[in-house]
Amino acid sequence: MKSTYNIKEAQSQFAGLVREAENGGMATITRHEKAVAYVMGADDLAALIETTELLANPQARKAIAAAEAGKGRVYSLDDLGE
């Protein structure tokens, strides 16, 4: 299935676009060849929102930078408990 649709195409194939999004795909909807909307799965959207929230947190960004520099803390699964 292609990934870019004009509005008329998207309307006629909407059920298929939703199925594709449920399976991890994403569709771009265009008007006059300009992207105006996207169809993506709920899980992908939730992950995107979570990532945005984490990156908006200065402490989280600092921890990510430390981990990428090899300065992060490492815990075994046993240390974490349940």
In the chain, where are the structural domains located? 4-41, 43-70
pLDDT at 10: 97
Residuewise pLDDT in 10s, the chain (82 residues): 789 999 999 999 999 999 999 999 999 999 999 999 999 999 999 999 999 999 999 999 998 898 889 887 777 888 877 6
Counting other chains too, the contacts that 29-36 makes at CB distance below 8 Å and 24 or more residues apart are 29/5, 30/4, 30/5, 30/6, 31/6, 31/7, 35/4, 36/7
pLDDT at 72: 74
pTM given for the model? 0.69
- For the packed helices 42-55 and 58-68, what is the interaxial angle rounded to 10 degrees? 90
pLDDT at 82: 66
Q: What is the CATH number of domain 4-41?
A: 3.40.1620
Q: How far apart (Å, rounded) are the C-alpha atoms in residues 16 and 59?
A: 41
